[in-house]
Amino acid sequence: MKFQQTTLSNGLNIVAEVNPNVHSLAFGFFVRTGSRDETDEVSGVSHFLEHMVFKGTDTFSPVDVNRIFDEVGAKYNASTSEEVTLFYAAILPEYLEQTFQLISTILYPTLRDDDFNMEKKVILEEIGMYDDMPTFSAYEKLMHTHFEGHPLSRSILGSVDSITALTAEQMREYHRKHYLAGNITLAVAGNLDWERLTQLAEEYCAHWPAGKSDRSIDEARPPGGLTVLTKAGSIQEHVAQMAPAPPSQSELRFAADILSVIVGDDSNSRLYWELIEPGHAEAAELSYNDYDGSGAYMSFLTCHPDDVEENLAKFTQIYEEINQNGVTEEELEQAKNKVASRIVLRSERPMGRLSSLGSNWVYRQEYRSVEDDLNTLSALTTADVRSLLDQYPLGQLTTVAIGPRETLDI
């Protein structure tokens, strides 16, 4: 595999990992904008705009968009997070130009009023659908509570009120401000001709407006607290918790990732053996989420409402023991093997490499090969985990519970 990188005159970053030994390629436009870049008045506009891109342009109608993707057999989609909006496709190499022209063109959609008003109904229905999902509602409320006063507190979907009030002109203004070439990274992985790729980028992207929007990345200082949302008819209690962890730019992120596997993976972790295997809970997990300038450990518990306090006490006991004594060499080695397998298996598909390739460039302007990731993983020691815990101990600073309970005693 060979890494290639260039930047167009308008600021568009292009990174590629060329692998002639595979039979497909994947490419994506990583737009550095998401819910944290919005204001309260346009909350949810990034996700809404993601939908509107597929409504097309004067060149490509919505029917054309669906037809062309289908004709070339593309696996395509888009996603919006707190920080990045991604548009991607996985294709056979011979269809690169046709697919590239389509996605690069619709990235600057017409944003017609009629399409906007029609899609607004879809977004409102989506908000209602997710409101019925306790796990998603717990996550949204947890982010809002844990990051109170910080841009990461903003909802990806927005609210019924914010979406209802949003206008097409507000969306156009948001698009003009954030869909600048300097805010976008084109990442490509797989079987590709680098020279041909850069030619296509010059042809279809060089006219994009130059510039880059600002983003404050001050580290969050969460206030913490407890929120209990009573949901009538719910059988189980869903509890989500957060505590500060390393930001995406920190070298401690590698230790934080391996720690989350040791403590809270869905198999053979401390939480698994303490709560899942004995049948005390349906879900008991710890994950590490890294953001621009901030990070968070996220704990998640699903169990019978009567068992919440006892199970959360088990979380606390495990976290305190880890904070005090660290992890064992055996735990670290097993977690390394598990993560190494995931890295390698994911790397065998261009689509699996795309996320790593694009994210590393968006957040840190660096390229990391599979070998780099494996070498970093191999070099991790229990001392590295100790250094992490000294700066970012495991905890349960912010708690959100959704279910039949009206109060929690924690």
Domain boundaries, the chain: 2-205, 225-403
Q: What is the pLDDT of residue 410?
A: 86
Say if CB 400 and CB 227 are below 8 A apart.
Answer: yes
Q: What is the pLDDT of residue 376?
A: 98
Q: What is the pLDDT of residue 233?
A: 85
The band of 131, judged by pLDDT with boundaries at 50, 70 and 90, is confident
Q: What is the pLDDT of residue 80?
A: 98
**What is the pLDDT averaged over residues 167-180?**
98
CA distances in angstroms from 231 to 132, 298, 305, listed in the order given:
10, 22, 12
Query: Domain 225-403 falls in which CATH fold?
Result: Cytochrome Bc1 Complex; Chain A, domain 1 (3.30.830)
348 DSSP assignment: T
Distance CA 287, CA 260 (A): 5
Cross-sheet strand order for the sheet of 85-91: 2-7, 13-18, 184-190, 25-31, 85-91, 75-80
Query: Domain 2-205 falls in which CATH fold?
Result: Cytochrome Bc1 Complex; Chain A, domain 1 (3.30.830)
**What is the pLDDT averaged over residues 127-151?**
94
pLDDT of residue 4 exceeding 90: yes
**What is the pLDDT averaged over residues 182-188?**
98
Distance CA 343, CA 341 (A): 5
Distance CA 345, CA 390 (A): 33
Say if CB 229 and CB 400 are below 8 A apart.
Answer: yes
Asked if 2-205 and 225-403 have one fold, the answer is: yes
Query: What DSSP letter does each residue of 209-240 carry, written as one string?
Result: PP-------PPP----EEEEEE-TT--SEEEE
Q: What is the pLDDT of residue 323?
A: 98
Distance CA 184, CA 182 (A): 6
Q: What is the pLDDT of residue 132?
A: 86
Q: Which residues lie across from 303 on neighbouring strands?
A: 237
Which has the closest alpha carbon to 327: 394, 392, 402, 386?
386
For residue 196, give both structure tokens.
């041909």
Q: What is the pLDDT of residues 58-90, one digit of tens each?
A: 999 999 999 999 999 999 999 999 999 999 999
**What is the pLDDT averaged over residues 321-330?**
98
Mean pLDDT in the chain? 97
Going by DSSP bridges, is the β-strand pair 75-80/25-31 parallel, antiparallel, or unpaired?
unpaired
**What is the pLDDT averaged over residues 165-191?**
98
For residue 136, give both structure tokens.
């998603």
Residue 172 CB partners (closer than 8 Å, separation 6+): 111
The band of 9, judged by pLDDT with boundaries at 50, 70 and 90, is very high
Report the run of H or E that residue 324 belongs to, with start and end.
helix 308-325
Q: What is the pLDDT of residue 37?
A: 98
Q: What is the pLDDT of residues 19-39, one digit of tens each?
A: 999 999 999 999 999 999 999
Q: What is the pLDDT of residues 221-280, one digit of tens each?
A: 999 999 999 998 899 999 999 999 999 999 999 999 999 999 999 999 999 999 999 999
